[in-house]
Amino acid sequence: MKTLLLLDIDEVRRLKKNAKLNPVPFEEMQKLSKGQPSPIPGGPDNLNNFTINAVNYEIIYTHECQPDGICRHLSISMFNEELPHIDVLQFICKEFGFINKVSDMPVWVEDFGDDTYKAVNVLEPIDGDFSKHMKKGK
């Protein structure tokens, strides 16, 4: 089933501002790598400051402190939906300020095990320059 994607530009601006003002510390990112819940600045009660609900998509946008510098991270969760087409993913990334093409960035899918809930993730250095920061797929 295909779903029309509607993004409220004011909501996108709000998420971008909140992410910039509240980057996730590297220590929290390390916890995530050990299987602990996804870190949200201010804790789970603050999730709505980093989330947009767009029809059947939930979009979470954060800035994260990584060893090579600050990165932008976009997570798009789908409920009973197919993964977004690459053109839709590119459009959403562009709206959030991503510089590179989706095909040139680390992209991964999280499957939460029940076939009804998945998330596609995209990560990029804030300046978009992978040569100075991380390597694709690192």
Residue 4 in tokens: 């029309």
Q: Are 38 and 29 in contact (CB under 8 A)?
A: no
Question: Per residue of the chain (138 residues), what is the pLDDT tens digit?
Answer: 454 556 788 888 988 998 999 888 887 767 666 655 555 555 545 555 556 666 667 888 989 988 888 999 998 888 766 788 889 899 999 999 999 999 999 999 988 777 667 889 999 999 999 887 655 444
The DSSP H or E segment spanning 119 is: strand 117-125
pTM of whole model > 0.75? yes
